[in-house]
Amino acid sequence: MEILYCTLFLSALTAVVIIDAFFLGIVVKPAYFFDARYFIPITGMVLGNSLNHNIVGLSTYFKSLTEKKELYFFLLTNTKDNKFCLRPFITEAIMRGLNPMVANMTVVGLISIPGMMTGQLLGGIDPVAAVKYQIMIMLAMFTGSTLNLFLSILFSNRFIFDKYQRLKKEVIKHG
């Protein structure tokens, strides 16, 4: 199971690097890429949300694989394509993992005003600019969470199945 933790770390790191490279390198363009006032909050928001949704998505993925193993073996027997067999399980995990974020994104600005946007408004920044930054932050968090969850599932698939494409017993115990 320790190798599984390494894959989760690798997927989180990959997602954060891609999102930070885009958001900081293209959108914000600070004079110094690792400027703490941009790098730490953006990375923290992306990573924090990614980890929350990763827990829900991976739990759903492992639980559905253990509870619906007959469906998995039926698909594997009839198609002999492991990627095709895992598609419904991956889809369910991503949907369940990201549902809270999608629900949260629908009310931002109308019902709830996030702390970052409130801080900018109280700091005297133009409300239109504050809204634009909030939209970009929400998109960065959503993209980071989706990428992290998808990569976590993809990377973990290399270690949760044996050579006969059966779920390993230690995964069933912990799942």
- Give 44-63 pLDDT, tens digit per residue: 989 988 888 999 999 999 99
% of the chain exceeding 90 in pLDDT: 41
CA nearest neighbour of 54 among 143, 142, 148, 141: 148
Give the model confidence (pLDDT) of 75-91 as tens digits.
Answer: 988 988 888 899 999 99
Q: How sure is the predictor about 109, in pLDDT bands with cuts at 50, 70 and 90? A: low
Count how many domains the chain has: 1
**In terms of residue numbers, what domain contains 18?**
2-174
Backbone angles phi, psi at 161, to 5 degrees: -115, 150
